Structure 1
Amino acid sequence: MRYKGAVEFRNVVKKFGQFTAIPDLSLSIEPGELVTLLGPSGCGKTTTLRMLAGLEGPTGGQILIGGQEVTRLPADRRDVSMVFQSYALFPHMTVAQNVAYGLESGGMKPAEARERAAEGLVLVGLEGLGARLPAELSGGQQQRVAVARALVLEPQVLLLDEPLSNLDARLRRRVRTEIRELQQRLGFTAVYVTHDQEEALAVSDRIVVMKNGVVAQVGSPRELYEAPASEFIADFIGEANVVGGEVLSVEGGIARVDLGGAILALPARGLREGPARLAMRSNAARVRTAGAGVPGRVASSAYLGDHVEYEIDGPLGRVFVVDDESDTPLPVGTEVVLDLRPRGLALIPEGV
């Protein structure tokens, strides 16, 4: 199977009448990468995917797949396959017939299409279920049928549009793991659209975070989570607290930072001495009743089984903290200290 095409957007613009949905998009995706387009509703991620699929035409710029320009090619000539949010399975056809449908529509002989469909079902772990109707499968199994139907076409790029949104939370976790394992095993290029930050972190080689049609940051899941380029990224990826601090000095790329009275050493990220903003992850502090740290007072607490969630008032403002070492919530009003851990803290670069 050969699905390992590169993707490139060159200064792509998309307008709907007077509204500019995508002002100027340039983005490259390497062969064999799974790249997720992530962002809130209306950010342009689905429009970008639809332009790549040929379902929307760009107003300007170029789109290339496998080094060939496809900007004006119709969808059926782009060598891509799409997995839709709704699965789009034919209810009157068996699973095997659904998987073989695109092959036969493209002119493949029925016997060869059936053989290829059977191979596709093996790939997604559904061997032996080809004779069933879609209604006889679970939601996760139906999603795997949709993936198999796309893969048997051997596209250069597989497109996935919110593929897990119709599944419950537990099934989403399982199916996203299956999709990621399949992608890594076969090495196909995939462009994945979701609004779910956890899903994006779990499946991606790289994440493209979009805001108002513009790329806000591109990076690996770890880069985006641990080194957000802006307050928007910090809040959107992992819902960080954005707090104020003071850079006391910088030496060798390391900043000495005063954060609510606690002194920390953090990567300077281009900052100099003076006021600064930091992303503070909810798991960056442990709530203690004594010891060194940032003073505060419990504003709210909630027991959630394997952790306790707190809102703490103090010199950093009101911050949200998840403490997985506590098993009994502290009462509202309790005086506490926040024992900070540098790994969950990052300075936010200036001007973003």
Structure 2
Amino acid sequence: MNTGSVVFEHVSKRFAGFTALPDLSLTVEPGTLVTLLGPSGCGKTTTLRLLAGLEHPTSGRILIGGKDVTHLPANERDVAMVFQSYALFPHMTALDNIMYGLLSSGINKREAQDRARNGLKLVGLEHQGARLPSELSGGQQQRIAVARALVLEPQVLLLDEPLSNLDERLRRRVRTDIRDLQQRLGFTAVYVTHDQEEALAVSDKIIVMKEGDIAQQGAPESLYLTPNSVFIADFMGEANILPCEVEQVEGSEALVRLGSQRYRVRHTAAKTGSAQLSVRPQFITLCQQNGGALRGEVTHSTWLGDHIEYEVATELGSLFIVDAQMEQQHPLATPVAIDFKPQGLALIAG
């Protein structure tokens, strides 16, 4: 499959009285799925629209497969887009929807039919070609939209919040389908979402955006376990931010005192002295009262079937804890001791 890289070189985009992207530079390697992640208004959708040719930059360059496409219209960019609304024609069958873009590009009907049928096979819907969109589930409609884009054999596939209209269980299944398809075919994809779990599940690399800039980028595990700021720690899932003391720095690890205990933790740019620690709630344990790094008292407890969520008041502040131990639920006002698993701790800059 035809696949290409994406490069933004100092791209800015200004609207009347508003700068959406002040100075954006990023690279998407060929054959990778890169997710643009961030809250509403962070610039991720503007970035995707610039790449698609639906908007044009105020300054800077955009390259696809090494070719400067900055001023090219959308139909000359060799990209295809999957929209959150599916954008299927309701009066056309699934097969005809997939064929539409091929016929519009001048391909003869027989070849368009063959490629469309192959597209149906790619997404596991080879027996659904005669159905109308109204006769398909939401997940099937989204897979038809993906097939319609893929049969055009673009250098880059763009996905704009593709799962936002699906329920939670269906989102998990379709995101797995998209990821498996991308890895099997090896195409380049740029994926936009505001859902952190979705980004962690599908991405080779995540680019977290904030106010038009890149806050942090890297592999999903790296961003989750080694956030470089309070914003990233809090945005990439739940995190407790606690004060700590850095006693020693050795390479990529630091010796940190938290409460009465010391831990070796990851960091991006640590210095000795007072610091802040990101603590993931599922890496906090409740233990016997005579152990642990901190003492606390349960102020809130919620049983959720496969885990229990606690809020515990401590001398360092309130802690949110996700406990997979289901045999015993600690009632309100119970005194507890708290300990931390080092793999869930990371020093952050601020």
Tell me which interval the TM-score lies in, with the shorter structure as reference length: over 0.9
Q: Deviations over 1:121-167 (max 9, x none)?
A: 00000001111111100000000000000000000000000000000
Q: In structure 1, what is the Cα distance between the partners aligned to 2:79 and 2:243?
A: 46
Q: Match for 1:313: what amino acid? A: A
Q: In structure 2, what is the Cα distance between the partners aligned to 1:186 and 1:307?
A: 37
Flag the 1:268–1:170 CA change in 2: closer, same or farther, 3 A: closer
Q: In structure 2, what is the Cα distance between the partners aligned to 1:169 and 1:327?
A: 28
Q: How does 1:254-269 map to 2 (within 5 A)?
A: 254-269=253-268
Per the TM alignment, residue 255 of structure 1 is displaced from its structure 2 partner at its CA by 2.0
- The answer to whether the 8 Å contact 1:308/1:327 transfers is no
Find out whether 1:308 has 2:296 as its counterpart. Answer: no
Flag the 1:165–1:288 CA change in 2: closer, same or farther, 3 A: same
Q: Deviations over 1:61-115 (max 9, x none)?
A: 0000000000111001000000000000000000000000000001010111011
Seq. identity, %? 62
SS at match of 1:117: helix
- The answer to whether the 8 Å contact 1:303/1:328 transfers is no
Give the corresponding residue for 2:37.
38
Q: In structure 2, what is the Cα distance between the partners aligned to 1:117 and 1:162?
A: 24
Give the corresponding residue for 1:347.
347
Per the TM alignment, residue 268 of structure 1 is displaced from its structure 2 partner at its CA by 4.7
Find out whether 1:140 has 2:139 as its counterpart. Answer: yes
Give the corresponding residue for 1:328.
328
Q: In structure 2, what is the Cα distance between the partners aligned to 1:266 and 1:212?
A: 30
Give the corresponding residue for 1:88.
87
Q: How does 1:167-316 map to 2 (within 5 A)?
A: 167-293=166-292, 294-316=294-316
Q: Deviations over 1:28-49 (max 9, x none)?
A: 1000010000000000000000
Q: In structure 2, what is the Cα distance between the partners aligned to 1:73 and 1:267?
A: 44
- The answer to whether the 8 Å contact 2:298/2:312 transfers is yes
Q: Match for 1:37: what amino acid? A: L
- The answer to whether the 8 Å contact 2:101/2:152 transfers is yes
Q: How does 1:157-176 map to 2 (within 5 A)?
A: 157-176=156-175
- The answer to whether the 8 Å contact 2:65/2:155 transfers is yes
Structure 2: any 5+ residue segments left out of the alignment?
Answer: none
TM-score (norm 1): 0.97
Q: Match for 2:340: what amino acid? A: L
Structure 1: any 5+ residue segments left out of the alignment?
Answer: none
Q: In structure 2, what is the Cα distance between the partners aligned to 1:136 and 1:316?
A: 56
Q: In structure 2, what is the Cα distance between the partners aligned to 1:117 and 1:158?
A: 17
Q: Match for 2:167: what amino acid? A: D
SS at match of 1:56: coil
TM-score (norm 2): 0.98
Q: In structure 2, what is the Cα distance between the partners aligned to 1:28 and 1:93?
A: 38
Q: In structure 1, what is the Cα distance between the partners aligned to 2:286 and 2:105?
A: 62
Q: Match for 1:322: what amino acid? A: V
SS at match of 1:243: strand
Give the corresponding residue for 1:10.
9
SS at match of 1:290: coil
Q: Match for 2:329: what amino acid? A: P
User: Which deviates more, 68-77 or 318-327?
Assistant: 318-327
Q: Deviations over 1:235-278 (max 9, x none)?
A: 00012111110112334553221112221122353322210101
SS at match of 1:276: strand
- The answer to whether the 8 Å contact 1:303/1:327 transfers is no
- The answer to whether the 8 Å contact 1:254/1:268 transfers is yes
Q: Deviations over 1:9-40 (max 9, x none)?
A: 00000001121110000001000010000000
Q: In structure 2, what is the Cα distance between the partners aligned to 1:158 and 1:273?
A: 45
SS at match of 2:282: coil
Q: In structure 1, what is the Cα distance between the partners aligned to 2:115 and 2:337?
A: 62
User: Which deviates more, 280-289 or 80-89?
Assistant: 280-289
Q: How does 1:122-141 map to 2 (within 5 A)?
A: 122-141=121-140
